[in-house]
Structure 1
Amino acid sequence: MTEANGPVRPVGLAVQDLRYETDGHTLLHGIGLTAGPGETVGVVGPNGSGKTTLLRCVYGTLRATAGRVLLDGADADALTVKERARRVAVVPQDASGTFGLTVREVVAMGRSPHKRFWEQDGPEDARRISDALETVGAGAFTARRFDELSGGERQRVLVARALVQDPGLLALDEPTNHLDIRYQLEVLGLVRALPATSLLVLHDLNLAAAFCDRLYVLAGGRVAASGPPREVLTEDLLAEVYGVRARVEVHPDTGSPNVVYLPVAAGSW
């Protein structure tokens, strides 16, 4: 029998002095980050700044060289794989290990942390899987093979897999990757409405400003700035971290910062 799931309880996250080294290179230099229960926190920065490495250390596919990841005060590295999966669900940029599986089978993988070894799906599992697929607009292709889907369709299925996991913390690496504008807004709106704490890696600064409570800007594996979007996304920071000229305005409808990029002169690269 599937283990009973109570209401989702958002998990508080604390990353303390996190350092990650590989092949003689330091990718993260003493990162500190917090996300309070129920907060939506964005991690932004240019390519190679350490965003995905940080996220992988949080959900456990990489083990930090030094520092700690705490989930509600508990050292995440001291948890079993199953215990960690009950607390943290992941939406990666791409999915490995899904070759030949149907969409429904991929989403059903999200129920595994709440079940005993080799336990079959019960009626409640089936209902949750169907509801999640409908929620992300993927109900029409539930029987199709996952590897035959478009990039945007795959991304929606991965979000559905995370939803059925009932996580206290959602770790999302470019969840809007491959999605058209409508689904970008719908997926981020869905994430924002969930009771879970969310940690999102995003490239689009305007989406990050609109949907995140706080932002951490990474540059060269260090935190260059952190705080509410309107305090962090300044013209000076964009010039320093991204090397671009931009005008930062206040969006008239949302009140969040809106970044307007200015043309780059030909030959300036």
Structure 2
Amino acid sequence: RTLLLVDDEDNILSSLRRLLRREGYTILTANGGKAGLEVLAAHPVDVIVSDQRMPGMTGVEFLRKAKDMYPDSVRMVLSGYTDLQSVTDAINEGAIYKFLTKPWDDAMLRANIEEAFRRKALSDENQRLGSELQHANQELERMNERLKCVLADQDRRLRMDEAALSLTQEALAVMPVPLLGIDPGGMIALANRAAEGLFAECIPLIGLDANEILPAEFTPLLDASRGCVEITCGDRRFRVEAHPLGEKNSSRGTLLSFTCRTDAS
């Protein structure tokens, strides 16, 4: 907690140093406005207490310039001379926090300076919290941008999957090889056009029990979800193969493919 005392009278500076030496402040002094600006250029200062009537530069003029250098410092005038208009203007401009008069009351002066440091500490804490909030908001914006990219990628993949599924469904529908998909419960869940032509008397096939539609020769295929049999439908003979669907440990049913045996008599 750094305090700058500015007064052109050395005895005043000495008296103030003695009064405040036990308060735990780092105390800097200057014997005029110009010297005060030089101190400010070399040291960060939290609270400034300045005399008003000084040669070369008044206290109000000095504190206006000090505000430009350290806008977050708390600035006060301690003076026996009162130029009411200039002090009022400086207070309205924010250059001065308080105007204190000489001769001063020791206890009141210590209390005012301590209050100024508390005000500075509160300002610093608000700035720190504001900076943390700004950082958090920036990080949130970056996360939102990353999330948008992830969602856009997922949406793109979903559209690709939907397009692939639609294309697969169309391809299965127009394949000349009859195909039947049987779910784990034995219900027909897929039947392409060739399969519907093969079992035209039972269409629509989807939703029917496969055991009721298919000949008894199919039972071993449905039970094992693999293998093959040969059957005759009308005047054509087919080789029927069973293909298990799903992962190795999670059956999703069976796909039956019907291949016409052109070499059968």
Give the structure with the higher percent helix: 2
**Structure with greater Cα Rg:** 2
TM-score category, normalised to shorter length: under 0.3
* TM-score of the superposed pair, with normalisation by structure 2: 0.21
Relative contact order: is structure 1 or structure 2 higher (C-alpha 8 Å, sep ≥ 6)? Answer: 1
